[in-house]
Amino acid sequence: MITRNLISLLRKLNVTQAYFKGNHAIVYVEGRVLPKQRVKIVESEEWVGSWWKERRENVIRLDNKIEERHWRLSLAVHEVVEKWLMYDSVWKLPYDIAHSISNTIEKRWHIKKWGSTSWNAYMKKVEQLWEKDEIYKQLREIASKRGITLGELIRTVIIPEWLANQKNSS
């Protein structure tokens, strides 16, 4: 049973070591190594960092727009801890709780290792990627509803409306 005490205790866990070894992320929590995860750097990962149990891949995916190696490691820590909390036979936590705990653990580890300035810059980059992806998804949805491609939407609707607005504002 998931209690507030359990969640509170899990939030206090510390990453004691994390590194990339070849194409794997190795993460230790309180000295215990978590199951290693193969890392795949992909273009435009929808959630910036993710993993999919349904695909039966033992892989975490990191967006290639997170350029800094230590930022990628921070993402990997989050994803490995989250996956461990959800699928380890001891925890089996629901996604929202595992995600929240992983955020707390990742933030504490990142700040301890690289400082709050690095954390703030990292979070700003993650938010920019989420925002950009959200806008892209909305535009794709609008194009789909109109039965046209995204390129057609941009050429036939967005650019003409933008040009008209520019003309009216001058």
pLDDT of residue 168: 85
CB-count exposure of residue 24 (10 Å: 0-12, 13-18, 19+): middle
Q: Which two tokens stand for residue 100?
A: 């929240």
Question: Phi and psi at residue 84, in whole multiples of 5°?
Answer: -60, -45
**Cα(77)–Cα(112) distance, rounded to whole angstroms?**
14
pLDDT at 55: 58
Alpha carbon distance 66, 122 (integer Å): 8
Q: Could you report the per-residue pLDDT of 3-59, keeping only the tens digit for each?
A: 899 999 999 999 999 999 988 999 999 999 998 888 888 877 777 888 766 555 678
Smallest CA-to-CA distance from 59 within 23, 14, 91 is with: 23
Over the stretch 73-116, which tens digit does the pLDDT of each residue have? 999 999 999 999 998 888 999 999 999 999 999 999 999 999 99
The answer to whether residues 86 and 98 touch, using CB atoms and an 8 Å cutoff, is yes
pLDDT at 163: 87
Q: At what angle do helices 4-11 and 95-114 cross, to 10 degrees?
A: 30
Mean pLDDT for the stretch of residues 143-163: 87
For the chain, give every domain's residue range: 4-114, 126-169
Tell me the whole-structure pTM to 2 decimals.
Answer: 0.76
Whole-number Cα distances in Å, 54 to 51, 57, 60, 90, 112:
9, 8, 13, 20, 34
